[in-house]
């Protein structure tokens, strides 16, 4: 499974050869620090002075490495305990046209830090509420002051959710026609999720 790099990310990673192989370790350290604590402009300036490289080159290199490491960690997680992940990583960066030495440095940077990167990504993932239970009621209005005879159905639902070990509830109301349309759309979406293309996308998002 290969990582597809956009033109922007290729351009950012393209500055790595200008930085030199000796700088990969420093840029990798900055990329990991950015993942752990966020951007640090002062650290970039310090690295630029230390390596005698422009700040923009350092920043682009770090941004390119952050993308390469995080996206690779997401993709390769779908092939656990398998050496093919190393091959895929090498094939993904081969299109950049780097030297063998630089490719080996990037591969080692990834292999040394992929577990920590996966852990960081797991902590950053949003904790969305999960389904607990559903109550529903069907009400039908048969008459009103303006209309003596009418049939106006309404479905009221109370959706109970679990979030951060607490339970919340949302009350929703709709008419049967809208509810039926929603059910049909959900069934269609579930059917599309069974397609191989969608399954590959979901695996890559985990």
77: number of CA atoms within 13 Å, CB side? 19
Instruction: Say how far residue 75 (Cα) sits from the centre of its chain.
Output: 10
Ordered alpha helix ranges (H), 96-175? 100-124
Residue 82 pLDDT: 43
Q: What is the DSSP letter of 149?
A: S
- In this prediction, residue 197 has a pLDDT band, given cuts at 50, 70 and 90, of low
Distance CA 176, CA 172 (A): 13
Tell me the pairing of strands 166-174 and 130-141.
unpaired
Q: What is the pLDDT of residue 171?
A: 94
What residues pair up with 152 in beta bridges, in sequence order? 141
Nearest to 162 by CA among 130, 126, 128, 127: 130
Specify the DSSP element, H or E, that contains 155: strand 152-163
**Is the pLDDT assigned to residue 53 strictly greater than 80?**
yes
Query: What value, to the nearest 5°, has the Cα angle with vertex 113 and ends 96 and 204?
Result: 65
Q: What's the rounded Cα separation, in Å, for the pair 15 and 134?
A: 54
pLDDT per residue over 79-128, tens digit each? 444 444 677 778 778 878 888 888 888 888 888 888 888 888 877 766 77
What pLDDT was estimated at residue 80? Answer: 46
Model confidence band, residue 172 (pLDDT cutoffs 50, 70, 90): very high
Claim: this prediction has a pTM higher than 0.95:
no
* Average confidence (pLDDT) over 22-46: 85
* 3-state SS string for 53-79: CCHHHHHHHHHHHHHHHHHHHHHHCCC
pLDDT for the residue numbered 184: 92
């Amino acid at each position: 499974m290969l990582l597809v790099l956009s033109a922007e990310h290729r351009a950012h990673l393209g500055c790595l050869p200008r930085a030199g192989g000796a700088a990969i370790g420093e840029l990798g350290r900055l990329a990991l620090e950015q993942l752990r604590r966020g951007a640090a402009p002062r650290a970039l300036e310090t690295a630029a002075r230390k390596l005698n490289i422009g700040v923009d080159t350092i920043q682009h290199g770090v941004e390119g490495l952050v993308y390469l490491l995080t996206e690779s960690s997401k993709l390769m997680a779908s092939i656990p305990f398998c050496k093919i992940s190393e091959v895929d990583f090498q094939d993904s960066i081969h299109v950049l046209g780097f030297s063998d030495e630089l490719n080996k440095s990037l591969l080692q940077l990834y292999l040394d830090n992929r577990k920590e990167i996966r852990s960081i990504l797991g902590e950053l993932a949003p904790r969305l509420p999960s389904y607990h239970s559903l109550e529903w009621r069907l009400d039908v209005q048969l008459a009103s002051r303006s209309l003596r005879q009418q049939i106006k159905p309404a479905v009221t639902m109370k959706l109970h959710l679990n979030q951060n070990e607490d339970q919340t509830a949302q009350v929703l109301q709709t008419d049967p026609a809208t509810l039926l349309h929603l059910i049909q759309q959900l069934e269609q979406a579930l059917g599309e999720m069974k397609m191989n293309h969608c399954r590959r996308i979901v695996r890559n998002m985990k």
